Chains A and B, each alone.
Chain A
Amino acid sequence: MNTLAGIAEPSYIEHKGKYKGLLSWILSTDHKRIALLYLFSILTFFVVGATLGLLMKFELIAPGKTIMTPQAYNAFFTLHGIVMIFAVVIPGLPAVFGNFLLPIMIGAKDVAFPRINLLSWYLYVTGVSLVLISQFAGQGPPDTGWTFYAPYSFRTTGNMLPAVFGAFVLGFSSILTGLNFLVTMHRMRAPGMTWLKMPLFPWALYATGWVQLLATPIIGITLLMIVAERTLHIGFFDPTLGGDPLLYQHLFWTYSHPAVYIMILPAMGAISEIISTFSRKTIFGYNFMVVSTLAIAFVGYFVWGHHMFTSGMSGTAQYAFSLLTFLVAIPSAIKVFNWISTMHNGSIELQTPFYWAMAFVFVFMIGGFSGLILGSLAANVHLHNTHFVVAHFHFIVFGGTGFAFFGAMHYWYPKITGKMYDTRWANIGLILFFIGFITLYGPMFYLGFKGMPRRYFDYDEVFHAGNILSSMGSWVLYSGLAIIIINLFASLKSGTRASADPWGGKTLEWTVPSPPPVENFEEIPTITKGPYEYK
């Protein structure tokens, strides 16, 4: 090893490998480069999904037809759902920040299976391409909603096959990422890094990995059954052939409820890192954080029935699912209490990532509480399939995962790029994003409570005022998003150089240069302390 001062190993961005140019990225097995491949693909699809959402809000600004036909609206919310769920929030934090940081945070040189890691990205791209092809080929785009409910999904003339199969391929990509992370954490932690010395972001990815692994195959087979139903008319879910559409819903939500924990757990992990760093304090109740992460992943398997309270199930099943749903709130609340307690008596440094974490805790709490309202049986009957559900879902998944994604982006940006971003513009973007978010989704609680159903391009005149407010919120949100993304890209050129540890973080990624060298560590460190020891 060369120890001459000033001659450092080249960073992963400057590294000259076997290939040049674009090929050196799309054929790279370096976990950091793969993370950036994911980042760019996910950002692209996020902008696509957000634009679809923006157009839907334009349609809803007034009752009756504004800019699109009912059929177009159906296609829009279907594509918005498929892209945002399967191509953005499910892979979002694990595939981007997990890939980049997991090996570094546990003191490894790469993930356990670098080539499978690259394969996951290719599967991801294939899956999204199939979904996009479904829009332009065949007899019109899919119009069933992202849930592909039976019997719509095999009765509609929309081009379902590529979309459903695309979602299947995306699931396969997600399984391989989870599998890779699990093995990495079992086999490649640095010497001395016991399980309880592992930072919370890797812990969150660990729990997520198990959910990805054990829940995704169920939707895989369910989607294959839909494919078979459309092509072979087997009768799995077709009542005229003896099948049961309710069974489809059960199988679908057996995956798709745990899937929301695939979305939120890594978000919680990233928020824990940010709050600890900017409070200059070890995380309050580390062990409880670990246990609550695993508890959420575990209990999350047994609550899928709460999506189906009005679909028809026995009273006993309803009580059980409602009770279990309330149980999930306990570990989530433990996390919120611990975040707050971490800040208590800390030397808080107000920086952009910390603001994002604060915004996360705020919207996540509203989302969580509205989840309890939906989880109680009597309220659910009234609120089911209204805009209240849309608001709850977006507060958790966009407000939770989305805010954490941008928080993580602003937290690890110096590490990933080696540059600092413009803080002023970042904060302006965040403020607009936050105000827009609350204005967009806040009124939906009220509208849903008043009875406005979801998934219609039209509504009664009494809902007009709330919808105008909501649509205006979408413009503010979108401008905030534009400022954030433009600022991050502009800072690649204009930003000042970032030091190895610009925020004063204590986890391992802050001990290596920014951007990290190809092999991450010159020498694998030996761990003697916990992850957040500030004294």
Chain B
Amino acid sequence: MNTTPEIHRDDLASKTGMWLFLFTEMLLFGGLFVVYSVYRFRNAQAFHLAAHELNVAIGTINTIILLISSTTIAMSITAIQKKNKKFALLLLGITILLGLAFLVNKYFEWGEHLKEHIYPGSAVLALRGQGDVLFYGLYFFMTGLHALHIIIGLIFIGIITSMIYRDKITYNNFVLQENSGLYWHLVDLIWIFLFPLFYLIT
């Protein structure tokens, strides 16, 4: 009599679960996009002028960084399927480095704003009017929440990398890696919307 519960594995279920989770992430940011559109509509002029002050160069670089990192993580999944463990590890390493580079850029970008005393609740910002307060409030909150997702994604990918290293993820059992890829693509996708809404609306 076999009393140990059988190990139940259903890759499609895992992926379905991940997709459903991504829906919730989209709605989480969806709430913020609604708030953004309302205030953008009410303060069109101020948003237009404030967006001029953002550093489009850093924003563009970060967009490119994320797009490339999405490619590398997608390639790493193919590499695993082709049993090329080393190449997969290399690609995941590059993905992590690109994610870190994104955060470093963000650090310098935010640092610039803080130096000019532009942050939520600052007196300097309050003097510039309500449109600017809302623009920067949304800017810090939305890109901040996005950066938090980048950090979570990096931790997730870090775990996946170590699992591949320890052969816990192999060519016939890679659904977790696929899920980490899905998550990373979502983080990328949200940035694709944040970038024009804050940097390119001038």
Interface residues of A (CB under 8 A from B): 1-2, 109-110, 112-113, 116, 175, 179-180, 182-183, 186-188, 213-214, 216-218, 220-222, 224-225, 228, 232-236, 241-244, 247, 251, 518-519
Contacts and interface: CB of A to CB of B under 8 A. Distances in A.
Contacts, number: 109
Given A179-B17, A213-B24, A234 B137 contact: yes
Contacts of A213: 20, 23-24
B124 to A, nearest CB: 13
Given A217-B27, A247-B38, A110 B8 contact: yes
Interface in B164-202: none
Nearest to B16: A183
Contact of A228 (B10, B31, B141): B141
A498 to B, nearest CB: 25
B30 interface: yes
A183 B120 contact: no
Contacts of B126: 241
Per DSSP, are chain A's interface residues mostly helix, strand or loop, or mixed?
Answer: helix
28 contacts: A1-B1, A109-B5, A112-B10, A113-B13, A113-B17, A182-B16, A182-B20, A183-B13, A188-B13, A214-B24, A218-B27, A218-B28, A218-B30, A220-B31, A221-B32, A225-B31, A225-B32, A232-B137, A232-B140, A235-B120, A235-B130, A236-B137, A241-B126, A241-B137, A243-B39, A243-B134, A247-B35, A518-B5
A251 B17 contact: no
Contact of B134 (A110, A241, A519): A241
Interface of B: 1-2, 5, 8, 10, 12-13, 16-17, 20-21, 23-25, 27-32, 34-35, 38-39, 43, 120-121, 126, 129-131, 133-134, 137-138, 140-141, 145
Contacts of B21: 179
A115 B57 CA distance: 44
Contacts of A251: 31, 34-35
Given A218-B30, A222-B31, A109 B8 contact: yes
A235 B35 contact: no
Most B Cβ at <10 Å: residue of A186, A214, A221, A519: A221
Nearest to B132: A242
B141 A225 contact: yes
Contact of A183 (B20, B24, B34, B129): B20
Given A187-B12, A236-B137, A242 B34 contact: no
A112 B28 contact: no
Most B Cβ at <10 Å: residue of A116, A183, A233, A244: A183
Given A213-B23, A218-B27, A218-B31, A235 B133 contact: yes
Contacts of B28: 217-218, 220-221
B179 to A, nearest CB: 12
Contacts of B134: 235-236, 241-243
A242 to B, nearest CB: 3
A45 to B, nearest CB: 25
A232 B10 CA distance: 44
Contacts of A244: 38
A110 B6 CA distance: 11
B43 A242 contact: yes
B17 A241 contact: no
Contact of B140 (A234, A247, A519): A234
Contact of B31 (A113, A221, A243): A221
Given A187-B12, A234-B141, A225 B120 contact: no
Contact of B27 (A214, A242, A247): A214
A182 B39 CA distance: 36
Contacts of A519: 5
Contacts of A228: 120, 141
Contacts of B31: 217-218, 220-222, 225, 251
B151 to A, nearest CB: 16
Contacts of B25: 217
A27 to B, nearest CB: 15
Contacts of A242: 39, 43, 129-131, 133-134
Nearest to A221: B31
Given A112-B13, A183-B20, 13 more contacts: A2-B1, A110-B8, A116-B17, A179-B21, A216-B24, A217-B27, A217-B30, A220-B28, A221-B32, A234-B138, A235-B120, A235-B130, A236-B141
A75 B23 CA distance: 35
B16 A236 contact: no
A214 B121 contact: no
Contact of B120 (A187, A188, A216, A232): A232
